[in-house]
Amino acid sequence: MKAAAPTPIRILGIDPGLRSTGFGVIDKAGSTLSYVASGCIKSDAAGSLPQRIKTILDGLVEIIATYGPQQAAVEIVFVNVNPQSTLLLGQARGAAISALVTADLPVAEYTALQVKQAVVGHGKAAKEQVQAMVARLLKLPGTPSPDAADALACAIAHAHGGQGMGALSTLGKRMRNGRLV
């Protein structure tokens, strides 16, 4: 008797940004990852902040409705040299998380270091290395844009680490330096 194929889990990865929010959708069936879709939600730089946030929110609501993810992973905002830029990025991230929780999706959060470690093998990887590894891991015919690659990498990190821990209980555990403690 042949074993049943594992049921795929659809994961939406998000790389938040006010100008361009990257998204990537993958399926995970057992240890196999498959590309579904990716792209960017671009907001008008000349628009007001509330209008730009609405663009991100509406775009993600449409992506969720179109692809039906079961889980989501979002990159955690890093502290920028410019505090104003950090605040704006945080608002874009808030819009993204709002879209996810409104759709009742479980949301996992990963630092850029954790994402790079999961995809490339070390946390100091360059953007080009992340793009190349995402293309390789998902067997893409070309290299995705930097924002889309970061979002796909976030989904891959979730598939490998957050999602792939299987029956390991993470209740009461926390992450330190990219490791579960």
Residues known to be catalytic: 15, 75, 147
Burial of 135: CB neighbours in 10 Å, binned 0-12, 13-18, 19+? middle
Amino acid at 174: R
Burial of 53: CB neighbours in 10 Å, binned 0-12, 13-18, 19+? buried
| Torsion sign, CA atoms 150, 128, 34, 37 | positive
Euclidean distance between CA atoms 125 and 146, whole angstroms = 13
Cβ atoms 25, 63 nearer than 8 A: yes
